[in-house]
Amino acid sequence: MKQYNYVTDDGGQTYKTVEINNQTWMAANLNYTPSSGKHKCYAQGKGNNEDDWLAPSDPKVKANCDKYGRLYDWETAMKLSNCNNTSCASKIQKPHQGICPNGWHLPDSSEWGALRRFIEGEIFNNWEDIDFGWDVGTKLKAIDDWKETSTSDKGVDSYGFAAIGSGYCVSCESLSDASGYYSGEKEEAHWWSSTEYKDLDAAPTPHGTKAFKSKITYNKKVLTQEIEKKADYLYSVRCIKNK
């Protein structure tokens, strides 16, 4: 039986948390509303026929955030919440805490990797997992809230991580001119990491233009790690507890 605890963010919203090996993860995507930055609920647009998406006041917008969590660009995910003065120093327990609650942070790529390797090891040592052909994504996916697919690709949510198809947004600031769009609802889940990707072939910049993210899809069994442009995409955030 899965054992849950709880954590509350700075906006007063409470989340289930679950321990997997020696890591403690949120068991839902973050739904904190920062005072600035790029962030939206899935399908949130201008409405009023200015684009094909929902007006901010549409009840479905809040319902999507309540269900899927909020989508953020990388810079917003990395910002310290409510940290406008020196009193915030006491809240910084680990670099890149980001918009996560106090005592939690945006996981880096090595923390995502540790989660993947632990589950891979458990699958290797469990004949039932091997017989069913399960992989890391299978074990992390929620049983519901995914597009219908073959039985072998369905989630079993072995650890209570409860990954759901929260989708993403591309160029959300340009929704009205059709160059921006939402996609992946019930089909894909993407989560930012705090680790930047250093492109050695690109012109030198203080910070790279890309960062690592983790991904699960409805029709595959794996958890993959990829790189993506930090400014163009809005993805989900899962917070991990500081050690």
Q: How does residue 80 score in pLDDT terms, banded at 50, 70 and 90? A: low
Structure tokens belonging to residue 142: 């929620």
Whether the pLDDT of residue 75 is over 60: the answer is: yes
Across the chain, mean pLDDT equals 88
How many CB atoms lie under 10 A from the CB of residue 242?
Answer: 13
Q: What's the whole-model pTM score?
A: 0.89
The closest of 240, 74, 63 to 161, measured between CA atoms, is: 240
CA distance linking residue 177 with residue 143, whole number of Å? 36
So where are the chain's domains? 4-241
Confidence band for 63, pLDDT divided at 50, 70 and 90 = very high
Give the pLDDT confidence score for residue 175 in this predicted structure: 87
At position 99, the amino acid (one-letter code) is I
Q: What is the pLDDT of residues 182-218, one digit of tens each?
A: 999 999 999 999 999 877 555 555 557 899 999 999 9
Distance CA 36, CA 113 (A): 30
Confidence grade of residue 48 (pLDDT, cut at 50, 70, 90): confident
